[in-house]
Structure 1
């Protein structure tokens, strides 16, 4: 994701532009972030990390007022693209997919409220990945 008037205009960044850009890195301790960083290392892709933060909450304000690039989960990026002066762009690499799993206590497996909540959560992630 980049700010709305960012000099990088293309819908998909080239690998060169991605590597040359200064990045905001979110190190939130999540498994998806860990997998992404491992994938970049595997592909021998090095970014210029200009700023590192530990949560997503301040990302839109920082990106909106800078020329930094940030890599976010698609669901987070699309939420911010609707709320701030930022836009999503495609990464230059085909990123690996991973399964997102829900867990619940067996005692709640047939609970109507729990079944409803599991469906709501699943619908959010299925609709945002298409």
Structure 2
């Protein structure tokens, strides 16, 4: 074998050896991305605190805020919460009170959406 042919075979052997070494080493798994957050048409537009709060605690806080509002009658508003979605049912005097009740509920920690089932006017 001539020196030139030995040089060619050595030149081809080196990349093949490097390729074999790379293939034999473990390749770490790619990190998985977090699943995207579900969207809902009832979600509030402003980002909220994402700390998980229990539905019972959310309901209690919404009721307390409605009771502290001087212009609302909390006895006429029923509050329930399921998976962070607050449902307001009952009657209020006018649309101004409806908007106030909705905003009070939206600002409670853990609330992801507010379902407005309030009726304006007297029954």
With the shorter chain as reference, the TM-score category is under 0.3
Q: Which has the higher contact order (CA 8 A, sep 6+)?
A: 1
What's the TM-score once normalised by structure 2's chain length?
A: 0.22
The answer to which structure has the higher strand fraction is 2
What's the TM-score once normalised by structure 1's chain length?
A: 0.21
| Structure exhibiting the larger radius of gyration computed from Cα positions | 2
